[in-house]
Structure 1
């Protein structure tokens, strides 16, 4: 399956590739040049198809687990001061996506959208410390039954030039459903309550709608920080 955000570019690329292959058969006499042009065209089509793939995944809709919103690698786990919505300290977990990862963004947990805002900005490399606040980005806050409000942020990178966000304030969403798409490499930040249990480590590879990022910790139970 391919994501709907890629339908136009996939169709356009396919038409161009077919045109190049057919025209080269009639107008390019040199075999090596003709085969090289055809092979390059087909390779570009394969890369486009690979980038816009959208594997279907079903989440368990667990209210006590926050799942990875995207495929990628965990590059940040730290306590930060979140200033856009909460204005207090949160645990930040950042996931970097390479151009080879699936770029579908999925809701990390079920709940109700309380906040959804787009911010124009720069296109610093996604791992730059200021990319979370200076780059083009969207911020979404979900109100959940156990964690309270959690925030995730789609952040454009040096190659990304378009962020698609489906979240609308007031709507109820289901864990694992498509929430958007980021084109050509970027990252997603999760801003979570300080008292949740982080279930991933730095440099760990995660799978959207599959890998558990954090778990709910009952405040009445003793927590083990060792």
Structure 2
């Protein structure tokens, strides 16, 4: 099983505590062992392949945002505690800039989450400018982008993860219209696998 970077920082202390507690307080050792197992499971990073042509979901979870922004469409995916938290590139392109924006840590499914800490990745695609955003939630404290300005992106490649949180958005290129969307709010999707928009159907 592959794991996202950072798993050792959280899992190893829990497993080490379990080993020590096993000698002095076995019930607490069970709790520490369960905590370590939960962390390892939370940071799991399975292989994914797109199920067809088009824009793939950047995250596992439930579609929580579908809205128009000027001449572009935004699709947001909320990740709950049971979802894989490794994010994927929705399309091929080239990273133009990666911008960290400090902010709050409000629940990522709420409207107020627009003020949360986030990392925006501006991408140039063959169909126009686009953006991928990692948005922290109530429990998330670190956003880890794997890409930098000048990097080439391949659809469905791993592009980052958020420790214990929380939402990933894609601002589609202007070439996409509402009729091209294959999802709606409330749908379940999988990162790098589910198709959220396609020009040809």
Pairwise CA distance, 1:217: 5.6
How far the C-alpha of 1:121 sits from its partner, in A, is 0.8
Q: Name the CA distance, whole Å, in 2 between partners of 1:112 and 1:38.
A: 47
Secondary structure of the equivalent of 2:6? helix
Aligned equivalent of 2:36: 45
* TM-score between both structures, scaled by the size of structure 2: 0.90
Displacement of 1:216 in angstroms is 2.6
1:120 aligns with 2:102: yes
The residue aligned with 1:4 is: 5
- Aligned pairs for 1:1-226 (under 5 A) are 1-24=2-25, 34=26, 36-59=27-50, 65-80=54-69, 88-132=70-114, 134-145=115-126, 147-196=127-176, 197-216=180-199
2:19–2:29 contact (8 Å) kept in structure 1 = no
TM-score of the two chains, using structure 1 as the length reference = 0.80
CA contact (8 A) 2:98 2:119 kept: yes
User: Which 5+ residue runs of structure 2 have no aligned equivalent?
Assistant: none
User: Over the residues paired in the alignment, what is the CA RMSD in angstroms?
Assistant: 1.9
Q: Distance in 2 between matches of 1:125 and 1:163?
A: 15
Larger C-alpha radius of gyration, 1 or 2?
Answer: 1
Question: For 1:10-39, what per-residue CA distance to the aligned partner results, in whole angstroms no more than 9, with x for missing partners?
Answer: 222221111111333xxxxxxxxx4x3233
Which digits, 9 at most, give the CA deviation of each residue in 1:117-167, with x for residues without a partner?
Answer: 1111111111221322x110011122122x222111110011111111122
- Partner Cα separation in structure 2 for residue 59 and residue 14 of structure 1: 35
* 1:130 alignment partner, SS class: helix
Judge which range, 204-213 or 186-195, deviates more. 186-195
Q: How many residues align?
A: 197
Deviations 1:171-211 (A, max 9, x none): 11211221111011211111114542111121111000000
Gap change, CA 1:143 and 1:217, over 3 Å in 2: farther
Say whether the 8 Å CA contact 2:60–2:83 is kept in structure 1. yes
- List runs of 5+ in structure 1 lacking aligned partners: 25-33, 81-87, 219-226
